[in-house]
Structure formats: structure tokens, C-alpha cells
Structure 1
Amino acid sequence: MSEEPQTLKGAWQSAENKRRQIETSWETNTPAHQALVNAAISSYEQCLRIQDQIALFSPNESLEDIATNDLHHLLSQYRLADLVQRLSSQDRKAVLRRAQDSYEKFLRQLDLYDMLTSSDLKLLEQYRDSPATFSTASTSDPAARRETKILRFKQEKDLKQKLQHLQQNPAALQNDDDMYRSLQLTQIEFCVHQTYQSLESIAQELHILSRAPPPPPPGQESLPFDARERYKNNDGYSEKLDGPMSAGLSGPMLSKDGKPLRPFTLLNTRQTLKDGVFRPDHSLPTMTIDEYLDEEKRRGGMIEGGGAQSGIKPEVDEDDLDKADEETMKARAWDEYVEHNPKGSGNTLNRG
């Protein structure tokens, strides 16, 4: 089992090279890219056929019985499903169903070798119970869903860091079988983590597609999207408004026959146009600040007095005898009032 046939090794290497080329490409909708995706899918399918022919994996074996150099072949169904999702097809549902089936086979094979953790087994049971509504987190409790999302993000981050650490020294991987085996198992664990996210995404996309209107039968002319165009008379009349004419503002203003080709504005004099050349964009002030304050006072919009200045008593002019006598009489009247009305005399409730 440790000796791998050359045909399987060559098919796997060819499929991996195409997959890496696809992952580094940015043009996903071009015919050349789609042809490369189909070629990579065919290569992985060839790998799966060879694995079945030579019985590379057997349900009677355990994980320890699988050679280290054969562990990466457990990812064949995962790689195939990931590439199938990249296909551009009119029948998107069929593409998603095909990818979903490959993901299920990938998890089923790992389950036979007891390679799934307890949390992964729990998610697998949830998926088998309801594939259409599968979710890695709770959909009813927002707090629990948030905690689960954070936990899975941390797990994914830890797996990526572990893979980077193991891949830093390729020479050591060739000489250390245990380290290379740990790398392969970590890669499989990371792919399992990504599989559940893909299954959740597929379930959501299938739910959205189930609500989409069915496509028209082949050969049937599709109706216009605009109802006004649909019921347009043959005489050319339409209730649809004319489009904006901004596209024609750069052409000539009048045709040879004198017909206006674009909107324009008539000005009274040439001087009006000249005066507006160096005019500022904003409106200039029409009065000064002092003029504005005077206008507000005239309209009664400003109230004078009050504030701290109101508590300052004006000084009495000593030379003004009448004013001094008035202040003296006012002070005497206050003193007489205080003598006749001692403090507390008005309180008739709390007397002893």
C-alpha cells in the first residue's frame, strides 16, 4: 500500500498543478479559466477512479494502516467539490448539488477512519438531519451564534498557523516522517473545517435559488421587463419618459435646418455673461455686522439688560442734592420697616 502506482502519482500531480493555477488566477468568468477548471475536475475524477481500481483505501483499515504518502489522497473529494463550486453554469442548482455530494463523500470517508473530532461529528449529525437548513451556529440565539462564529474563526486561525509552521522547513519534512504525517493530518483537519462552512454556504444559496422564478422554456421569447414596453402600440407611442439629455450637451446646438439639438439658455445681453465669469460661487454679504445689529435692535430682536451688569448699583452723584435726599429717605423707610417687622414675626405656626 505504501508503493503508489505511477499513474496515480502523475494524475494527482497534474490535478494539483491545475488547482494551484486556478487559485492564483483572477479571471474566473473567462472561457479559458472555465476550461482549466473542467480540466482540473477531470484530473481529480481520474485520481478517484484509480484509487477505486487499486483499492487504495479500505473500510477494514484504520488510520494507522494508511501510509503517510497516501494521506493526501483523502482530500480528492474535497478538492473536487471545491472546484465544482467554481463552475459557471446556467443550472446553478445542479452544480451546488454536485459539490454537496462530493463534500458528503469526503466526510463519510473520514468518518470511516475515525478522523473526525467530537465537534465535527456533532455537526455531521446536524447536517444529516437537515441538509437544507444546516448551519454551523445556532440560528435562534444571536449570542450563541456569535460565540460559535468567534470560536470557529479562532480554530481556523490556529490551523492556518500550524500549517504555516509545519511548511516552513520542507527539507525537514522529507527526513522526518512523523512531522510530514502531522502536516498531512493538519491539512485534512483544516479541509474538514472548510467543508462545513461550504455546506452552510451551499444550503443558504440553494434556499435563495428555490425562491427564484423558474427560467422561461427554451425557444419561448421572454417578455420585456418594462410593462410599458410590453403594451407599447405599433404606432410608436409610449408612456415611457425620455431619458436624460446630458449625453448630447457636447455636440452642436442647432442642426443645419435650425432645429435645436440640445437644451440651451438665452441671455439678455453679452455683458451679463461677462459679469458672471469672475463671480464667486457663494452669495456675497449685503450689509455689515453693525448694520445688521442696528436692524435687529430696530426690529426688537435684541434684549438689553440682565446678566452680571444688572447687579451693579450705580453710584450716586454727591453734588445732586435731590438724588441724595431721595436715597436717604428710601434708606430711612427701609430701617423703619425692619424695626416694625422683626425677623420671624410673620411665622405664626412655629411659636413656642
Structure 2
Amino acid sequence: MSAPSDEPERSSPSLLLERLHIREFRNLGRVDVEPAPRINVIAGNNGQGKTSLLEAIYFAATSRSFRTHRLAELVRHGAPIASARARFVERRDALQPLAREQTAAVEHKRCVVRIDGNRPPSLASFATRSPVVAFHAEELALSTGPASARRTLLDRLALFMDPQSADHRARYAQALRARHELLHRGGGAQAQASAELDAFEALCALHGAALTRAREAAVQALAPELTHAFARIAAPDLTLAARYAPGGGGDAEQAREALREQRRRDAHRPSAGYGPHRDDLLLELDGHPARVVASQGQHRALTLALKAAETAAIASVRGVEPILLLDDVSSELDPDRTAALFMFLGMARGQVFLTTTRRDLIVTPGVPSSERRDFHVEGGAVG
């Protein structure tokens, strides 16, 4: 791995989590944490609640989990409600810090959120108020795995650039499912002349085109940050390029016509042949597909660069450095992997929470003791 360059790092005002109060969340009963402003190491054996602590931070900031879509899974067995309450502070030079309290709770399988005790205008406004970026073991396959993971990355960034993109994505998926059911129910024959089908295709076209435009803008914001990050983490003689490969188009009328033309074929497909559900972020090394030519080490560097680029792009859009959550990415690391991880950590300019089973691996020279705090998690208790 290459050494850090002498290029000065770009930085934004920092977002800090000052206090966290967790109640009945996963296997965490009652946990109150006051983190350090820079590095927070959460150590313990597997299955003790380390990841749940990170998940609670993510939930308090976004109203979502990075592990599951089923809210009921977040509630501790036998408890009626799970909640995470966080005090976030934005520190800006020469300006009064901006503080707020965000609360997310699961009540009767429903998510309830508050900012300073008030209901926010929308979940999107809640999720973009205090940006956090999570990096967990499953994302180590970002560059080699299915396109859905890369679409999710683009959607997270698009949410900060255009909060309406989340609504477009949800409405597109709903209309696409309805179109698919109509086509398969009629075998493509009766449904072709259906006014109902026309209506669902109009919705697919409208929201799909908007989603395509949002993702295209996200790639434009991500690509230069990715090039910058990869140049620092990987070998300097490699050239990385990121390119948006849309499955649909940004013009709603053209999208509507394309869906109409493909009705007969789509009636016999598992999914529509046109639309942003087929989008991908193509990654190329020296002009060749990274999935094909990259070594294991290069894929590792590429994944870390993608997360660093996501963090930097959100900081640029939001105007504040996101909080970084790293879940167990230090386990079973060889020397090269450790070097890549700490290169990545060195690029992080904001507050970091990191879980590990090996506290001895997490060495942070240059970080004052007042800016690092170590926690131990055992049996759902944090000390």
C-alpha cells in the first residue's frame, strides 16, 4: 500500500455524537454512552452487542438499520419499545455550535422519530440532518458483489443531494411491482390494452426518470472523490474510473414509450428489461472492468476507497463531516489489510466508532488520549 500523500486534506466542520441513550435495543437493555470526539473503540467478543451499539447510533441518526429492514428485529425480546436517543453537535469555526437531540423508536412495529421533541417534516429530512456512514463486513464485496449494493450506495448519496429521490425510488418500486403483476396475470395479452397498465407505466416513467437523474448526479459527485481516495489507498500507478450505467433514462416520456414497447417481453421475464432497477456503477482499472482484472488486494482498496468517497461526497454536499461507523473490519487482518484499513482511518476527518474483537490491533498514534475512548461490551452491557 502506498504512503499517504503530502496533499493537504480537505475538511468540513465536524459532526459529533456527544451522548447516546439506548433502551431495549437488540440485546442492549439500558446503555448510556459519552463518546470521545475523535476515536471510539468498542471491543468485546462476538455476540455481545458491539454491532448493536453501532446500529443504535445509525438508527438514531437515520431511522433505519444497516443490518435489517424489519423494524421488529430491533426490539429486545419481551420489550414493547426499542429506542435510541442521541445528542449531536455541529462544531463550526468561530460560530456557536449547533446542538440537537434526535430520537428514533420502534413502537408496535412502527418507527417514530423526533428532533428536539418535535416530529420532523419527513423521514428524509430526519435521515439527512446528522450524516453517518456505516462500513460493515458485507460491504467488503462492494466492488465484486451484485449491482444492488452499488445502487444502494448511490441512493444514500442521492438522498443528501436530493431528498425527494427517496420518495421517487419508493414510488417507482411500487408502480413497477404493480405493472409486473398485471403483465403476468394476463400473460401479456389482455394487459397490453389495459388503462390500468398505462397508468402504472406512467408512474414508473415519471419516478424512474427522476431516480435516474438523481443517481447520475450522485455519480458525478462521487467519481472525483473516489479517484482521490483510491490514489491514496492503492498503488499510485493504477488509474480508476467510475461510470454510471443506467438501466433506464432521465426522460419520462421516452421511459414510458420504452416500457410500452417491452410489455410482451416483460410478461415472460422475472423483471422489467428497462428502468433504474437495472442501474449499476461501473468501476474500471486502467480501462478494464475492475471485477475482472482486480486482485484481491485491489478489490479491498477499491472498497475502502468507495466508502471514503461516500464520506467525502456527503461532507461536501451536507457541509459537515459525517460520523464514521466501522463494524468489525479489523478481524482476521493480515499486514497488508491492516495497512489499508489504517490508511482509510487516517483519511477520516470526523468522529469514528470502531468495533473489534482485537483491541490490540487498533493503534492510533497522533491521537491524544483525550480524543480516544475505549469501551468494552459484554452480555449487552457497555463499560
TM-score by length of 1: 0.21
Relative contact order: is structure 1 or structure 2 higher (C-alpha 8 Å, sep ≥ 6)?
2
Considering fraction of residues, name the structure with more strand. Answer: 2
TM-score by length of 2: 0.20
The structure with the largest alpha-carbon Rg is 1
